[in-house]
Structure formats: structure tokens, C-alpha cells
Amino acid sequence: MRNPKSATSNQSQVEIAAPEPLSDLTRLKAAPSIRLGKWPTPLERSYCNDIPILVKRDDLSGFGRGGVKTRKIEYLMGHVLSNGYDEVITVVANVTNLAHDIVPAFERHGLGSRIFVIDNPLVASDERRRFFSSAGADVRLLGAGRAESVARMLMATLGSRARGQRPFVALPSLGHPSAVAGSASGFLEMVDQVLEMGEWPESVFITAASGTTLAGFLLAENVLREKGFPPIRVLGVQVHEGPVNKWVLGLVRWAEWSFRLSSRLPAERIEILASQLHGGFCRYTSADADLCKRVQSEQRLKIDPFFGGKTWAAMESWLAANRPQRPIVYWHCGYTPDWQAMAEPS
């Protein structure tokens, strides 16, 4: 490229600037991906208890069941394809929207996939068979034991290698830096939209099931903060028992290392709001079910009491105690269509 300045100057010495180090944002954006969804998903203005909110409609991602999972799958596929893997082996929990979307995505790109489903949380076996029968032939239903699932994944991996294939083994819920980069790109997409609208949100409410999506949001927010953007508080709502904050921190550190970012997310930035778990993942009461029905009729949003309903409830109680100065964002991650058939209210 010609430098217009040196073309007009008569200096005999040419100054060569040291190459700018790649910014964290550039590194994050350079993660490979394929296109499955329709982006950007809408960011809609709404109200929650008369307080203005923005709803990020990732339920309209336009691939498979729709939802935030499309972002993870696009980037995981990018990683798998650019590294020459030809098959994905992974494990998911009983109630998931992942299995239904991952199989067609891999098939479309000629990749094999084997998905093992642990019997947790417990659901009736005929319901379970019905739920997964629509997901495709490569889904295998296992018992509840972790040891069994590890053994089966190991056997599948060894068998696949023995046949001369290159399997990629993904942790539960696609816990991988590529999937974290996928959800980070969703956060950056939302930031472009708020800048266009002339708004700057105060906080974002996001469901934290495995926390992979939350990890990506925190990573993206931190990278923007380092670039001088004002902070946005990212609040994860727990829908699973267990130390989700540790899993999130692990994923964030893995992604920072994997993308060679220079920034480090301060661990205390991981804020998890507890929700009413009623003893476990996918448990809910009839009051939770009523909330989902109310949101559906008032907001025209379909949410289920396993994921989005818990996040909506946490947002409502947060708004009852806090008066935000700027809009808050409810991130609509998707919907479990069979939720009423899958579990009774407890």
C-alpha cells in the first residue's frame, strides 16, 4: 500500500512504524465460524413493571429450535472445520435444546456427531424417548451415572480413531473457547444495536445454565471496557445447582488463553443471581408456570420455567429493589417447546 504522506514529502529516510499489536477485540472477532442463523436478531423495546427494558430476541435466531445455541454451534463448527476434525462427540443433560440443533448443523456440513444424553434431571423414560426421537439417530440415551457417560465417550472416541477418523470431543454444553467466542460475538452484536439506538444499557440479564453464554458476554464486555466503553453489568441467573461461577471462570480463562488476549477478566465480575430452583434443574412451581403464561400474553414472548422463566423472575425481583438509570436488557435465549410435558410442577 502507498503511504500518501511519503508520496508528497521529500524526506529521504523512510520511517517504518512497528506493527500495531492485534487488539483483543480483533483477536476475538477473528475466531472462525460458519453461518447458520439470521443475524442480527432483533433488539426490541418493552417494559417490565413499567420500567423500560430491551429484549434481545435470540429466540428468533432462525436455525433449528432458535436460540442462543446457534451462536455457540456456528463457532464450534468453525473450530471443528478449520482444524480438520470430521466428527463431534459430546454429552448433554436430559433437558436440552442443544441436541436438536447440533445434529442437523453437523449433517449439513458432512460431519458426524455422536451425542450421549445423561439421564439427569430424571424424566419418565417414554417422555425422554419421545423428546429425543426428533433429535436424530446419533443421539444415545444413557443412565444417570457420570462414570458410564465418561466410559461411553471414551469408547466412542477410541472407536472413531481406530476407524481412522478425527473426532473432536466437546465438554458438556459445548464448553469450549470457540463457543465462548460465539456468544461474545452476540454481545458485540447487541452493543452495535444499542449504539445505533442511542442507548447504553445498565445491565444484561442472561440465563446461566452451563454458563457458556455468560462467559462469552463477560469476555466481550471486558474487552470493550478495556477499549474505554462504559461498563455494562452482566448478571447471570442460575438455573442449575452447583458452582456455575467456577465453570464460568474456567471457560473465560481458557478462552483468554486460547485467543491470546492480553486482558484478564477480574473474577469478581462474575455475578450470579440465585433463582428458586425448588431442589434442582427443571423443577418449577405452578407460580413459575403462571409467570411464563403471563409473559407470553403480556409480552408475546414464549419462555419456559426451566430457563427463561427463572431469568425473567430474577429480573422482576431485581427491578423491585433497584431503580435503573438506563435500560436493562433481557436476553431471550430460546424456548423448550415440550416443557409442560417434560416435568410436572413441584
Ligand X SMILES: *Cc1c(COP(=O)(O)O)cnc(C)c1O
Residues that bind ligand X (CB under 6 A): 67-69, 97, 173, 207-214, 307-308, 333-336
- For residue 329, what is its C-alpha cell? 436488557
Measured CA to CA, the distance from residue 59 to residue 65 in angstroms comes to 8
Sheet holding 271-273, edge to edge: 43-48, 51-57, 328-332, 203-208, 233-238, 271-273
Measured CA to CA, the distance from residue 92 to residue 141 in angstroms comes to 10
Distances 14 to 5, 34, 292 between C-alpha atoms, Å: 11, 42, 66
> Which bin fits 145, alpha (ψ -120 to 50), beta or left (φ > 0)?
beta
Residue 160 φ then ψ, to 5°: -65, -45
What 3 state SS string does 277-298 have? CCCCCCCCCHHHHHHHHHHHHH
Measured CA to CA, the distance from residue 108 to residue 3 in angstroms comes to 45
- Nearer CB in complex with ligand X: 90/212: 212
- Nearer CB in complex with ligand X: 205/307: 307
- Nearer CB in complex with ligand X: 101/138: 101
- Nearer CB in complex with ligand X: 223/333: 333
Instruction: Give the shortest CB-331-to-ligand X separation in angstroms.
Output: 9
Instruction: Give the shortest CB-211-to-ligand X separation in angstroms.
Output: 5
- Nearer CB in complex with ligand X: 80/301: 301
What type of residue sits at position 329?
V
- Nearer CB in complex with ligand X: 44/86: 44
Instruction: Give the shortest CB-97-to-ligand X separation in angstroms.
Output: 4
- Nearer CB in complex with ligand X: 68/76: 68
Q: Return the half-sphere exposure (C-beta side, CA atoms, 13 A cut-off) of residue 129.
A: 2
For strands 51-57 and 43-48, give the pairing: antiparallel
Instruction: Give the shortest CB-86-to-ligand X separation in angstroms.
Output: 25
- Nearer CB in complex with ligand X: 61/160: 61
Q: What angle do CA 246, 247, 253 make, to 5 degrees?
A: 90
Q: What angle do CA 38, 40, 44 make, to 5 degrees?
A: 120
The full length of the chain comes to: 346
- Nearer CB in complex with ligand X: 275/336: 336
Long-range contacts of the stretch 279-282 (C-beta < 8 A, 24+): 279/346, 280/121, 280/241, 281/93, 281/95, 281/120, 281/121, 281/239, 281/240, 281/241, 281/306, 282/95, 282/121, 282/306, 282/342, 282/343
